[in-house]
């Protein structure tokens, strides 16, 4: 079982990632920087004004990730999954908060993509990408529960 100090660290880590995403979004909204607002979810799903469906899908993903994060914090076998699940939970929570507060996700970082034009993302998306990448890596190359 993870020591209490480790559990607190991972919870603090997730909360700081969430707060960083929120702070950057508040800054870019106040500063008048170029933005893109994402009405849908990944890959253009629910882009046509189906905000409720996007919010419900985002809430369901967030609930599953929070449950998995809590389980990993409590169990010994999930110790190696705490960091990627913290990233995933923070990213999903950041985008879900946007849907509740702004009615859509605030994207502020344009990335040129040769096949799709410009992709707009935010810090929460970076947390999601990093968390998913680490999670896949940890699932293929486990370290025996040590962290």
Q: What is the pLDDT of residues 107-123, one digit of tens each?
A: 999 999 888 788 899 99
Q: Where are the beta strands (DSSP E) in 14-136?
A: 36-38, 105-107, 109-113, 117-121
Q: What is the pLDDT of residues 80-96, one digit of tens each?
A: 889 999 999 999 999 99
Q: Where are the domains of the chain?
A: 4-140
Q: Rounded mean pLDDT of 74-85?
A: 82
Q: What is the pLDDT of residues 136-146, one digit of tens each?
A: 998 888 775 45
Structure-derived torsion over alpha carbons of residues 125, 127, 133, 137, reported in degrees to the nearest 10: -170
Is pLDDT above 60 for 32?
Answer: yes
Q: How does residue 47 score in pLDDT terms, banded at 50, 70 and 90?
A: low
Return the pLDDT at 139: 84
User: Which residues make Cβ contacts (< 8 Å) with residue 91, sequence separation at least 6?
Assistant: 17, 21, 124, 125, 126, 127, 128, 131
Higher-pLDDT residue of 17, 36: 17
């Amino acid at each position: 079982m993870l020591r209490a100090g480790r559990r607190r660290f991972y919870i603090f880590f997730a909360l700081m990632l969430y707060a960083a995403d929120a702070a950057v979004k508040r800054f870019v909204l106040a500063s008048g920087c170029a933005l893109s607002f994402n009405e849908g979810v990944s890959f253009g799903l629910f882009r046509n004004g189906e905000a409720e469906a996007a919010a419900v899908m985002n809430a369901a993903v967030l609930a599953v990730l929070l449950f998995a994060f809590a389980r990993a914090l409590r169990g010994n076998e999930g110790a190696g999954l705490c960091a990627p699940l913290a990233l995933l939970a923070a990213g999903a929570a950041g985008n879900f908060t946007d849907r509740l507060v702004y009615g859509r996700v605030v994207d502020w970082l344009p990335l040129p993509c040769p096949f799709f034009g410009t992709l707009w993302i935010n810090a929460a998306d970076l947390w999601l990408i990093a968390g998913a990448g680490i999670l896949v890596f940890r699932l293929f190359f486990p370290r025996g529960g040590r962290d």
